[in-house]
Amino acid sequence: MIRVLDKHVADKIAAGEVIDRPISIVKELVENSLDADATSITVEIRGGGKEYIRVTDDGCGIDEKYAEIAFSRHATSKIRDEKDLDAIGTLGFRGEALASIAAVARVEMITSTEDETPGRSLRIDGGTIVENKPIGCPRGTTITVRDLFYNVPARLKFLASENGESRRITDMMSRIALAYPDVRFRLINGGRDVFSTAGSGNILDNILRIYGRDLEKDLLPVDFTRDGSIIRGYVSKPSLSTSTRSRQYFCVNGRVVSSKTVEKGLEKGYRERLFTGRHPVAFLFISVPAKTVDVNVHPTKKEIRFNDPFAVEDMVEEGVRKALSAGEAVASLDAKATKDTISQQAKEPAASVGETDQGVQVDVKNLLKTLRSSVEEDGMDYIPEIPREEGVSEEPERLDITSMDIVGVVLDTYIITTLEDTMYLIDQHAAHERVLYESLLTRYESEESPSQTLLTPLQFTVSAETSGAENEWIPALRRMGYDIEPFGDKVYIVRQVPASLGSEEAEAFVRQFVMDLEDKPDIRDHADLERLIMRSCKSAVKGGDRLHQAEIRSLLEQLDSCDNPYSCPHGRPVFVKMTRYELERMFKRA
Ligand code: ADP
Ligand code: MG
Mark the residues whose beta carbon lies below 5 A from ion ligand 2: 32, 97
Q: When comparing pLDDT for 494 and 370, which is higher?
A: 494
- Which residue, 196, 222, 255, sits at the end of a domain? 196
Strand pairing report for 331-332 and 575-579: parallel
What mean pLDDT, rounded, does the chain reach? Answer: 82
pLDDT, tens digit (0-9, with 9 covering 90-100), for 115-168: 778 899 999 998 899 999 999 999 999 999 999 999 988 888 888 899 999 999
- Which residue, 315, 343, 378, sits at the end of a domain? 378
Decide if 162 is inside a domain.
yes
212 and 138 within one domain: no
457 and 326 within one domain: no
Q: What's the pLDDT at 379?
A: 44
Q: Specify the range with the lowest mean pLDDT, choosing from 242-251, 256-265, 299-308.
A: 299-308
Q: When comparing pLDDT for 8 and 469, which is higher?
A: 469
Instruction: Confirm or reject: Cβ of 140 under 6 Å from ligand 1.
Output: no
Q: What's the pLDDT at 156?
A: 87
Tell me how far the alpha carbon of residue 365 is from its chain's centroid. Answer: 22
Q: Sort 212 into a burial class: Cβ within 10 Å, 0-12 / 13-18 / 19+.
A: middle
Mean pLDDT of 280-306: 76
Q: What's the pLDDT at 14?
A: 64
Instruction: Confirm or reject: Cβ of 70 under 6 Å from ligand 1.
Output: yes
Q: Specify the range with the lowest mean pLDDT, choosing from 18-27, 366-375, 424-433.
A: 366-375
228 and 187 within one domain: no
Q: What's the pLDDT at 505?
A: 85
Q: Sort 283 into a burial class: Cβ within 10 Å, 0-12 / 13-18 / 19+.
A: buried
Residue 204 predicted with pLDDT over 80: yes
* CA 228/CA 250 separation, integer angstroms: 19
- pLDDT band of residue 13 (cuts 50, 70, 90) is low
- The amino acid sitting at 533 is I
Strand pairing report for 293-294 and 255-257: unpaired
Mutate to test the pocket of ligand 1, among 65, 98, 361 (most ligand atoms within 8 A of CB): 98
Ligand closest to CA 91: 1
Mean pLDDT of 183-207: 94
Q: When comparing pLDDT for 487 and 344, which is higher?
A: 487
Instruction: Confirm or reject: Cβ of 58 under 6 Å from ligand 1.
Output: no
Helices (H), 212-250: none
Q: What's the pLDDT at 562?
A: 92
**For the domain that residue 315 is a member of, what is the CATH number?**
3.30.230.10
Q: Which residues contact 447 (CB under 8 A, 6 or more apart)?
A: 479
CA distances from 515 to 176, 326, 443, 462 (A): 54, 37, 21, 8
Q: Sort 58 into a burial class: Cβ within 10 Å, 0-12 / 13-18 / 19+.
A: buried
β-pair partners for 496: 453, 483
Mean pLDDT of 255-280: 90
Q: What's the pLDDT at 15?
A: 64
Decide if 397 is inside a domain.
no
Tell me how far the alpha carbon of residue 416 is from its chain's centroid. Answer: 33
| DSSP conformational letter for 334 | -
- pLDDT band of residue 401 (cuts 50, 70, 90) is very high
Instruction: Confirm or reject: Cβ of 94 under 6 Å from ligand 1.
Output: yes
Count of domains for the chain: 3
* CA 507/CA 434 separation, integer angstroms: 17
Q: Which atom of ligand 1 is nearest to the CA of 98?
A: 6
In the three-class reduction of DSSP (H, G, I as helix; E, B as strand; rest coil), residue 235 is classed as strand
Q: Whose CA is nearest to atom 23 of ligand 1?
A: 33
Decide if 388 is inside a domain.
no
Nearest C-alpha neighbor of 246 from the set 280, 203, 206: 280
Decide if 401 is inside a domain.
no
Helices (H), 45-125: 82-88, 97-103
Which residue segment(s) compose the domain that 293 sits in? 203-378
- Please, are residues 399 and 385 in contact by the beta-carbon 8 Å criterion? no
142 and 126 within one domain: yes
- The amino acid sitting at 527 is A
Decide if 570 is inside a domain.
no
273 and 341 within one domain: yes
Mean pLDDT of 399-428: 93
**For the domain that residue 436 is a member of, what is the CATH number?**
3.30.1370.100
pLDDT, tens digit (0-9, with 9 covering 90-100), for 80-122: 555 554 444 333 445 688 988 999 999 999 999 987 788 999 9
- The amino acid sitting at 428 is Q
524 and 430 within one domain: yes
Decide if 587 is inside a domain.
no
Residue 357 predicted with pLDDT over 70: no
If residue 466 lies in a helix (H) or strand (E), which one and from where to where?
Answer: helix 464-468
302 and 159 within one domain: no
pLDDT, tens digit (0-9, with 9 covering 90-100), for 166-187: 999 998 899 899 888 899 999 9
Residue 61 Cα, ligand 1 centroid: separation in angstroms?
A: 9
**For the domain that residue 141 is a member of, what is the CATH number?**
3.30.565.10
Q: Whose CA is nearest to atom 17 of ligand 1?
A: 70
* CA 446/CA 417 separation, integer angstroms: 32
Instruction: Confirm or reject: Cβ of 77 under 6 Å from ligand 1.
Output: yes
Q: What distance, in Å, lies between the first and last C-alpha atoms of the chain?
A: 83
Mean pLDDT of 202-225: 91
Q: Specify the range with the lowest mean pLDDT, choosing from 105-109, 254-258, 423-427, 553-557.
A: 254-258
- Which residue, 145, 161, 196, sits at the end of a domain? 196
- pLDDT band of residue 364 (cuts 50, 70, 90) is very low
Instruction: Confirm or reject: Cβ of 28 under 6 Å from ligand 1.
Output: yes
Residue 95 Cα, ligand 2 centroid: separation in angstroms?
A: 6
56 and 141 within one domain: yes
255 and 153 within one domain: no
Q: Specify the range with the lowest mean pLDDT, choosing from 7-21, 192-206, 538-552, 555-569.
A: 7-21
Q: Which atom of ligand 1 is nearest to the CA of 33?
A: 23
State the chain's maximal CA–CA distance in angstroms. Answer: 101
Residue 4 predicted with pLDDT over 70: no
Mutate to test the pocket of ligand 1, among 19, 26, 29, 32 (most ligand atoms within 8 A of CB): 32
Decide if 271 is inside a domain.
yes
Q: What's the pLDDT at 376?
A: 39
Strand pairing report for 40-46 and 184-189: parallel
167 and 217 within one domain: no
227 and 339 within one domain: yes
Residues in the chain: 590
Residue 255 predicted with pLDDT over 50: yes
Decide if 486 is inside a domain.
yes
543 and 497 within one domain: yes
pLDDT, tens digit (0-9, with 9 covering 90-100), for 434-456: 998 998 888 888 867 688 898 89
Q: When comparing pLDDT for 442 and 319, which is higher?
A: 319
Instruction: Confirm or reject: Cβ of 141 under 6 Å from ligand 1.
Output: yes
- Please, are residues 43 and 57 in contact by the beta-carbon 8 Å criterion? no
